[in-house]
Structure formats: structure tokens, C-alpha cells
Amino acid sequence: MAEAIGALLFGLALAESDHRERVEHLILPFRDFFGALFFFSFGLSIDPVGLGGAVVPAVIAAAVSMVGNFAAGMLAGRTSGLSHKASANIGLTIVARGEFSIVMANLGVAGGLLPVLQPFAALYVLILAVLGPVLAKHSTAIYDLLSRVFRWQRPKPRRRKITIPEAAQEAQP
């Protein structure tokens, strides 16, 4: 963990230097490679048999996270003056954000916490990674359903059909 904090502090220091653009240019191609390598090594460290014990907690955590992310997106959007539809779209598109939990699970296991953290984090991220794009794709249909439940759209007033004789009577003083 000390190495990660040291790398972060070193990156912060370089960000303020005159060499920032050059260092960014040199390191950028490696960023994605090492990110993929990290997730690959994380996958290797998980025992597939141990996934079974983490299913229920991961599903519950994913459900709570999805509701929380949706509510946060709605709150942020409405506070910024966006419509209910735009706010719901924000809430539904930020659902698939759980990758950092893998980093935290690795740190927890390295620190001596429960070994079930790794399978839990893997399932949690997998659930959010699968459901996130599906929710974003169907955000309009989900908004329409939620709009009916919460009555975000006011029903359009029904116009009364007026016959020609009635219109003539209303027009006369």
C-alpha cells in the first residue's frame, strides 16, 4: 500500500512540474496495459469455488449501490436545474461504477481482512458491469415507468370536443 501512495504523491508532484506533458506522453500507453494486468491478476487470485458464498451479499450490495447511484444522479441533475428525464438518465448511466472496490478488496485482503472480500468485489463489479449498460440502454423506458409511478409528468389536460353549434353559441355575446 505504501508503494501505491508513493506513486500517487509522485504523480501529484510531477503534475505541477514543467515535465508533465512529456511524462504523460511516455506513460499513457502503459496505463491501459497495467490496468488490464491488474484486473487479470485479480481474476487469477480468486477461487471460483469461493464465489458461491459471496453471491447474496454481492447482489444486495449491487442493488443498494444502483439505488444510491440513481438517487445521487437524480439529486445532482435536479439541483443543477435539469429535467426529471435528464436527471434520470444521469442516474442510470453512473450505475456501473464499482471498479475501485476491487482495489479496496485487494488492500483489505493484504491487510488481513476477510478473504471473502475478493470474490465479493469480483461479483459486485461483474453485476454492475453487466447491468450498467443495460440500464443506460433502456433509460427511456425506465424513465417512462418511473415517471408514471412518481408522476413526474403532469397529465395533459383533455380537450373537450366542441361541436359547431356549441362553438357558435359560445361565440355569441
Q: pLDDT tens, position by position, for the chain (173 residues)? A: 566 677 778 888 888 888 888 888 888 888 778 878 877 887 887 888 878 888 999 899 999 989 998 999 999 999 999 999 999 999 998 887 666 677 777 677 777 777 778 888 888 888 988 898 899 899 889 999 988 888 876 655 666 666 666 656 666 66
- Do 76 and 95 contact (CB within 8 A), yes or no? no
**Domain assignments of the chain as residue spans, ordered by start:** 1-44, 49-153
Q: Pick left, alpha or beta for residue 162 (phi over 0 → left; psi -120 to 50 → alpha; otherwise beta).
A: beta
pLDDT attached to residue 107: 72
Residue 156's Cβ-count burial label (10 Å; 0-12, 13-18, 19+) is: exposed
